[in-house]
């Protein structure tokens, strides 16, 4: 058994004291302010003078802002998260100019994620106790699982979600055991069954949102009755956020277990390249597709396959997996969504989803065996690297995961 060095983030819930909560709230506000001011300065410089402003220039602006009476309060919080938000802005511009992302947008006090990132100069971690800059006492963290032995955090990110819960994420260098695995599996995603495997197994779609739909609707009706800007409206909004958080937590936990199982049991995994953002434009299916979280499933599968040195093959979205007979290769003329089983001209009876999963597997294995062409793969905004090696439009892509 071998192991691989990776960077892993360990996320824990914590309960700040009133003083710590106040300090973090001020920090979140200052981070948002600095980001928005730097974005405005860079936008105006380009619009008015066709001038690109670098990270170093925005860092110098931050120093000047701190010396003004208007923004002197920026000195009251740690400087590390303020510098980090400028680095995040620089990365956003890098991704924009590389055409990996849209133009950066301003952070909203109401809707943007509340977070602050600390590097090693902004926190102290000793004997399982984490203390942030500008704080006298360590955070009261619920250590739901231990950090790897000897692990030392290189970055700490503190955040608060819409439900009012506080989280701290510790980025550490660690190692992942790469247990050997054999076999290959094709995966077809769906709504009736969340996943259908080429082995014939169907994994039930738990429909997390549907389970709490009544509670969510009640909380949203209660919110709609409250006066905007009132304290009661804020309390009602918090109840809605808690229902959403419960749904999100269950969905994430379920997908983590599924992807971990697939990666541990199979050396090669073949999936379809689906454009979820286009599929949710179908208003009849948008809610169910969003609840299934196919994009999140693929994201988890990608990095876990990378960690465990598995082969992840992505079949082109136009490959006719449902209409193709997995026995004789004949292509059916039409296959409406309500047709869940069909019989080929060769006499083979097919379950629509199982047949699709088998075709997806066969197509993926042919790419590996024959060296099929790959489609240009969109670059990752995280790494800035494209996973494509050739440019053959319309073909299947065999990609190394991000």
Catalytic residues: 188, 272, 353
Q: Which two tokens stand for residue 225?
A: 């009755």
Considering only CA atoms, which of 73, 91, 93 is closest in space to residue 33?
73
Q: Which three-class secondary structure state does DSSP give residue 114? A: strand
Rounded CA-CA distance 298/401 in Å is 10
18 and 72 in contact (C-beta within 8 Å)? no
Torsion angle of the four alpha carbons 290, 292, 296, 297, in this order, in degrees rounded to the nearest 10: -160
Rounded CA-CA distance 265/273 in Å is 22
Rounded CA-CA distance 172/168 in Å is 13
Task: Give how far Cα 382 sits from Cα of 16, 157, 170, Å.
Answer: 30, 17, 18
φ, ψ (nearest 5 deg) of residue 18: -55, -40
Q: Mind giving me the DSSP string for 115-135?
A: EEEEEGGGEEEETTEEEETT-
Q: How far from chain centre, in Å, is Cα 318? A: 25
Rounded CA-CA distance 20/141 in Å is 13
């Amino acid at each position: 058994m071998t192991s691989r060095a990776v960077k892993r983030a360990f996320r824990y819930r914590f309960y700040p004291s009133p003083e710590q909560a106040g300090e973090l709230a001020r920090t979140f506000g200052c981070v948002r302010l600095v980001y928005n001011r730097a974005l405005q300065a860079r936008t105006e410089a380009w619009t008015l003078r066709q001038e690109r402003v670098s990270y170093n220039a925005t860092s110098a602006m931050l120093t000047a802002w701190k010396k003004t009476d208007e923004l002197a309060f920026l000195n009251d919080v740690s400087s590390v998260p303020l510098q980090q938000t400028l680095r995040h802005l620089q990365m956003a511009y890098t991704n924009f100019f590389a055409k990996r992302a849209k133009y950066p947008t301003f952070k909203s006090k109401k809707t943007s994620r509340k977070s602050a990132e600390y590097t090693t100069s902004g926190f102290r971690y000793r004997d399982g106790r984490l203390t942030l800059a500008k704080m006298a006492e360590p955070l009261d963290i619920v250590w739901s699982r231990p950090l790897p032995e000897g692990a030392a955090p290189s970055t700490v990110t503190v955040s608060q979600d819409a439900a009012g819960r506080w989280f701290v994420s510790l980025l550490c260098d660690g190692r992942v055991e790469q247990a050997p695995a054999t076999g290959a599996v094709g995966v077809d995603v769906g709504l009736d069954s969340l996943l259908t495997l080429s082995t014939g197994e169907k994994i039930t779609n738990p429909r997390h949102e549907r389970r709490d739909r009544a509670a969510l609707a009640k909380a949203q009706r209660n919110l709609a009755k409250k006066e905007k800007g009132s304290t009661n409206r804020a309390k009602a909004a918090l109840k809605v956020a808690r229902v959403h958080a419960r749904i999100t937590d269950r969905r994430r936990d379920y997908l983590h277990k599924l992807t971990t199982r697939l990666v541990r049991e199979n050396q090669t995994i073949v999936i379809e390249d689906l454009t979820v953002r286009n599929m949710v434009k179908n208003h009849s299916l948008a809610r169910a597709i969003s609840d299934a979280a196919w994009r999140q499933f693929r994201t988890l599968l990608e990095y876990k396959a990378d960690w465990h040195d598995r082969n992840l093959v992505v079949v082109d979205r136009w490959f006719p997996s449902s209409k193709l007979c997995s026995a004789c290769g004949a292509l059916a003329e039409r296959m409406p969504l309500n047709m869940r089983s069909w019989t080929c001209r060769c006499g083979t009876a097919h379950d629509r989803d199982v047949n699709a999963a088998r075709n997806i597997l066969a197509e993926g294995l042919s790419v590996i065996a024959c060296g099929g062409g790959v489609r240009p793969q969109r670059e990752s905004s995280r790494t800035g690297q494209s996973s494509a090696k050739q440019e053959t439009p319309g073909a299947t892509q065999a990609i190394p995961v991000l």
